[in-house]
Structure 1
């Protein structure tokens, strides 16, 4: 615990310096970091190979290996994201509203850093860089706790980040990582109230629930992704097929991948044979309710558990529904309030879906896979918040700030 307290003290000291930093200096440091990441590609990949080898030996399934894997192209994308964050407007210091009250005081609401952000996450090493640069740009220090499966990758990335920040005359302790990935240390981090201003978990439902149950530090919940695509009776078959195949098979291990397809009974008989064939061509296992099995007898019969499950794998559940109202009810019952999509040419049906589905991101005629900070133009994201307090949806720069009131007077006193 003493080492964790020391990290907290170092992070607090670094956060004060970051909070005063000029935008130009922060952006130059981020540009230098992007260059450093590319220059250290071989070192980062060598570390990642160690993690991949261990994961493979432990029988980790292919979809999860994909979450863990780094390639030269993925490192290039990570560096590109760092540059995009550098190019974004700096929210710190922005006065979002200003007015005068009856006492002639000028009152403004100004964006400020949160302070020190703790982040507990799993598998994907790109999160290490995304979290670090978003926190840095918003003047926040961060303490990272990655999963043991990406241990070597995360250490290599943080080493590059810290050395690059130091070379740009910023405190290296603006970004720190726990080298002890034990559950006990993670639980200690969850209770580091004296130093952490907020804690953000990013990963499996089990991880997020553990943080919610154990943390005394304020938590921003980033949710699991039990996402749905609903194909309406007025959908175009080819569009619907492309969307569900992309939403499920393009990268099934990520939280914005679809886990359940809902389809209107009026088009199920015509659409499903083609959709199922296209899904199977992508090695997707299909599970369906009794109506789906009647149309395609070789489909595995779905159980209640299938509607509740985030597979994060090449598995999709399919349910036939009578109308959009049943689809909305199913989504609001089983969804995790992450990302939901409707495919339809009917404007009024789409509007009902948009208004009544309770989720952070709701799509009309597009794949759920777009729920991503980079795709939304945020450069990167700290996670997808599925809660309703403070932030919801992809969390970019603005979501990593708080506000304070600044008040200008001319000697006024309250009567």
Structure 2
């Protein structure tokens, strides 16, 4: 079956435009309800969380209607980070968890992603079955078997306690000044609370959501505001989350960024030093920098690469029994503590390293020298398929020949936006720019028809 609804991270699109309409959300809810309530009993549960987008109210209600119509009992968490949904799905003993969010995308977008009863994101096969049910006529439950809905008011507090339990016993953040940028998103309450309760002096950025300003010039993809705040307040570190708080970018005391690759290098080294890095292996995607690979190899550690998408990182981690993985974009997955990427959890691990070592953030989050890397995105219109055009294939082949084993070339279609991502790495920066620009030009021409 060709998947039309589900991408690399659930269903996503512009609110009130297919597939992100209230009608479709109702159908998805009913299909998920039929999939998980497969024995006809009334004891099945689903938890639903959301971020702070205005359209979240609409999708929360539509999903609830669809789910309860098939006999599922719904527990509404309100605004909570995506990792909280994974955690609470297991603690509430639910059959499925749903997060309503488009992550780092602007407010007009939204998405629906699913977690299984084990707290991990659903695999492709399960999503394909739900998509097939959406296309069919889902039979509703009998009138006396309709599900109930209940609001859970303490979801974020349960999540906060779980987060604090991951911080090393006996350590406090007393004396550290921390800028926390919540992107006006799902962690706008819980992240400052956790840091303050652990003893930090907290300076808040992006904690005033209004339904429209999520990820708007704040957060992990727009760090300038937080960086200026770090410098102006003389803070020790900045922690920049995205809209649903499953990814993080760290700012050092100078306001300089450290991406997911640098954070994974720090955590891998720390875990390996404590003999806690399972299999001596870090799992990352094809987008992670070659410098990370060299850093690990120099320490006798392995880098296992996957396709892009934190769900594929987690699948590889589970299959290989590994406990650390992530993406350059800032998804950091530590399965000793969580079932999915957790930006605040990762930030706490960096803070623990600062407290234990007495070193500044600038030293801890610069673990390796990056191999020069260039990434450019090309947007294309509906119905276009640029990567299938001969001129693009020829440009890619020419680029690979010019790199001739001295670098890497990764060309891929985004799973969440209509973009072609062109990424290359090479020590020769002039060659790097030429190769990327030529491929981008070919993709742009193909996309224009």
TM-score range, shorter chain: under 0.3
TM-score of the superposed pair, with normalisation by structure 1: 0.27
TM-score of the superposed pair, with normalisation by structure 2: 0.26
Relative to its length, the structure with more helix (as a share) is 1
